[in-house]
């Protein structure tokens, strides 16, 4: 994991903690999350489990700032107070945010430049692509990637700009076992450096310092 430590070493070690209190989230007029309080402390991974439709994605999107909670607060203690939570988080959702008409490298270079706000560092991009096993496809148009390769390119974004909070929504979909292991290694390295991760998944992953939160599906109110 020497590559990874090199990628992430530039981050300042600030103790961060994500705290959600009395969270109520509605989707389409239905209360999906009711009165949830949860804290994720420095270096910890929170795995969200629960049946389909239980509200895992909704909770992640609320933390990412897309969905405004009906009640309750979400805050990131110890982060940069000038920035919102979403500006300090990597969000990997169901879609990969990969442009088919650009090459693998161009996709990564754009996200590196956009998310970090300064000119992209070619070596860092190559290290991130290498970590997810895409080094042979650098000049390859993303249109010809397989589903798993596209997903890996989407995940490579995590290593392109240092951000304390990782929000991953079913990140292992269409990944093979070796690629899942690479993802787990990246997450473990991220948390061992003081980062936080919240992962919604149905697959058991060999994550370290992990806690599981099971979200029970709510019955529709009669």
Site of interaction with another protein (CB under 8 A): 61, 64-68, 83, 86-87, 89-91, 93-99, 101-102, 106, 110-111, 113-115, 117-119, 154, 157
Q: Which long-range contacts (CB under 8 A, 24 or more apart) does 124-127 make?
A: 124/7, 124/159, 124/160, 125/160, 127/3, 127/6, 127/7, 127/159
The DSSP 8-state label assigned to residue 215 in this structure reads P
Minimal distance, residue 212 CB to another protein, in Å = 25
Minimal distance, residue 38 CB to another protein, in Å = 21
Cβ closest to another protein, residue 96 vs residue 149: 96
At residue 61, the 3 state secondary structure works out as: helix
Minimal distance, residue 76 CB to another protein, in Å = 13
Cβ closest to another protein, residue 4 vs residue 85: 85
Cβ closest to another protein, residue 12 vs residue 68: 68
Cβ closest to another protein, residue 21 vs residue 110: 110
Comparing C-alpha atoms, which of 98, 92, 94 is closest to residue 163?
92
Minimal distance, residue 58 CB to another protein, in Å = 10
Cβ closest to another protein, residue 61 vs residue 131: 61
Torsion of CA 187, 2, 156, 134, to 10 degrees: -130
Minimal distance, residue 56 CB to another protein, in Å = 16
165 in Cβ contact with 196 (< 8 Å): yes
Cβ closest to another protein, residue 5 vs residue 73: 73
DSSP strands (E only) in the chain:
17-27, 30-40, 45-49, 71-77, 89-92, 165-169, 196-200, 210-214
Minimal distance, residue 120 CB to another protein, in Å = 8
Pairing outcome for strands 210-214 and 45-49: parallel
């Amino acid at each position: 994991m020497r590559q990874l430590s090199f990628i992430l070493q530039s981050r300042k070690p600030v103790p961060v903690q994500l705290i959600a209190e009395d969270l109520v989230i509605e989707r389409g007029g239905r209360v999906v999350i009711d009165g949830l309080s949860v804290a994720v402390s420095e270096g910890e991974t929170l795995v969200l489990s629960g049946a389909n439709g239980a509200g895992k994605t909704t909770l992640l999107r609320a933390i990412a700032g897309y969905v405004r909670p009906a009640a309750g607060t979400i805050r990131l203690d110890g982060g940069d107070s000038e920035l919102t939570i979403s500006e300090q988080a990597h969000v990997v959702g169901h879609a990969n945010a990969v442009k088919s008409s650009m090459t693998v490298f161009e996709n990564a270079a754009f996200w590196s430049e956009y998310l970090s706000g300064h000119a992209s560092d070619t070596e860092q991009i190559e290290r991130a692509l290498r970590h997810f096993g895409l080094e042979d496809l650098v000049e390859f148009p993303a249109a010809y990637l397989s589903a798993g390769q596209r997903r890996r390119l989407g995940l490579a974004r995590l290593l392109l700009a240092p951000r304390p909070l990782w929000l991953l929504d079913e990140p292992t979909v269409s990944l093979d076992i070796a690629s899942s292991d690479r993802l787990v290694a990246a997450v473990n390295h991220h948390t061992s450096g003081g980062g936080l991760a919240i992962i919604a998944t149905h697959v058991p992953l060999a994550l370290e310092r992990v806690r599981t939160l099971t979200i029970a599906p709510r019955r529709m109110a009669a």
